[in-house]
Homo-oligomer: A and B are copies of this chain.
Amino acid sequence: MQKTKVAILGAGFIANIHIESYHRFVPEAEIIAVYARDIRKAKTFAEKHHILKWNDDLNDIIQNSGCEVIDICLPNFLHFEATLKAAAADKHIIIEKPLSVTLEDADEMIAACKKAGVKLMYAEELCFAPKYERVRQMVNEGAIGDIYMLKQSERHSGPHSDWFYDINLSGGGVLMDMGCHAIAWFRWMLKNAKAKSVYATMSTVLHKERTKGEDNSVVIVEFENGVTAVAENSWAKHGGMDDKSEVYGTGGVVYADLFMGNASIAYSKSGYGYALEKADTTIGWTFPIFEEAFNQGYPHELKHFIECVQQNKEPLVTGEDGRAVLEIIYAAYASATEGKKIMLPFAPSVSKPIDLWLGSL
């Protein structure tokens, strides 16, 4: 079988995770081109990862690289343009979360891909993280009876790149950035059951000087099947990345922790190279993690997407899932302002989701 040719859009943090995943674990794919807005970053990335073609010309990479798949690892606000161009060029699309900034964009992206007959594959890695998939498997075997509550949390002390903190670019704060993981995972665990309502509370507690966006949020999603799901997200948690889930059922419980729950425990008087994502220090006690990309499910996810392209299969997680997540995020922002649960469907017209919380700026 010929390798599937992939062009990566983006040369930042997540693009690096994707390419490590492809190179180590997805031999069915070949990364043939990279685009970045900054041509020096594109060059550096290409040289580091042995990619032949690199450019700051989006059209060129999409249309002329000879790729079959576009892997969009760009900031939120660039998802729309990249997707439409890729669809117009008949390229299948892998797209990082969140799907887009607005529901209108999401709808247009989904429609464009449908019209072009290309797959829009939503890269929510928690649906593939092997530890969480193990949990889902045992739950489906009846280990805990019927699920009645789900909890998922992702926390760290804040992203590095500036655009996250500019709500006009990002569309929102930590809920937009990390809450989408929890929401997608809830739907995934419940076999895409319909969400019924959303309640949220959020605030800016640590990065007040840097952003108007929320950096701590709690979101309660209620599903039509009776399940209550609680998402906790924070850019205000020191000590390193944290990603945990809890499943409560009528016949038992399962707790899974992707970082501290997978780590070694080390005490170092003097420190060392790297402990884990967003860790402040390696002096004293640390929880060094290993195989971070693998343990978060990136290779499994990308392998699946490439297989879908090769075998013309429906991907397990699609643009529609991404849209459903974004709708719940909209409702969460609105709820946080109104102080009441918002019923779904909910699709007001705003230029960015956080306007529903802060009012438009």
Contact mask for chain A residues 111-154; partner B; CB cutoff 8 A; 1 contact, 0 none: 00000000000000000001101110110011111101100000
Q: Which residues of B contact A237 (CB under 8 A)?
A: 248, 253
Chain B nearest Cβ from A336, distance in angstroms: 10
Cross-chain contact B134 with A288 (CB below 8 angstroms):
yes
A251 contacts the other chain (Cβ, under 8 Å)?
Answer: yes
What's the interface size class on A, roughly?
35 or more
Known: A130-B290, A285-B285. A230 touches B218 (CB 8 A): yes
A321 contacts the other chain (Cβ, under 8 Å)?
Answer: no
A193 contacts the other chain (Cβ, under 8 Å)?
Answer: no
Docked CA distance A283–B271 (Å): 13
Q: Which residues of B contact A270 (CB under 8 A)?
A: 142-143, 145, 251-252
Binds B, one of A73-81, A99-107, A174-182, A260-268: A260-268
Chain B residue nearest in CB terms to A245 = B264
Known: A267-B239, A284-B281, A291-B130. A228 touches B216 (CB 8 A): yes
Chain B nearest Cβ from A258, distance in angstroms: 10
A238 contacts the other chain (Cβ, under 8 Å)?
Answer: yes
Contact mask for chain A residues 221-263; partner B; CB cutoff 8 A; 1 contact, 0 none: 0100010101010101111000000001011111111000111
Cross-chain contact A268 with B251 (CB below 8 angstroms):
yes
Q: Which of B205, B253, B272, B283 contacts A141 (CB 8 A)?
A: B272
Q: Which residues of B contact A27 (CB under 8 A)?
A: 27
Known: A201-B228, A264-B135, A284-B285. A253 touches B238 (CB 8 A): yes
Docked CA distance A262–B252 (Å): 20
Cross-chain contact B280 with A143 (CB below 8 angstroms):
no
Q: Which residues of B contact A201 (CB under 8 A)?
A: 199, 220, 222, 228, 341
Cross-chain contact A143 with B264 (CB below 8 angstroms):
no
**Given A149-B205, A230-B230, A254-B265, 5 other A-B residues pairs in contact with their CB atoms under 8 A:** A141-B272, A143-B270, A148-B205, A239-B252, A239-B267
Cβ contacts A to B, 18 pairs, < 8 Å: A138-B268, A148-B206, A149-B218, A149-B234, A201-B228, A218-B228, A220-B220, A238-B253, A239-B253, A251-B270, A252-B270, A254-B267, A255-B265, A256-B265, A261-B264, A281-B283, A281-B284, A339-B340
Chain A residues proximal to chain B, CB less than 8 Å: 25, 27, 130-131, 133-135, 137-138, 141-146, 148-149, 197, 199, 201, 203, 205-206, 216, 218, 220, 222, 226, 228, 230, 232, 234, 236-239, 248, 250-257, 261-273, 280-291, 294, 338-341
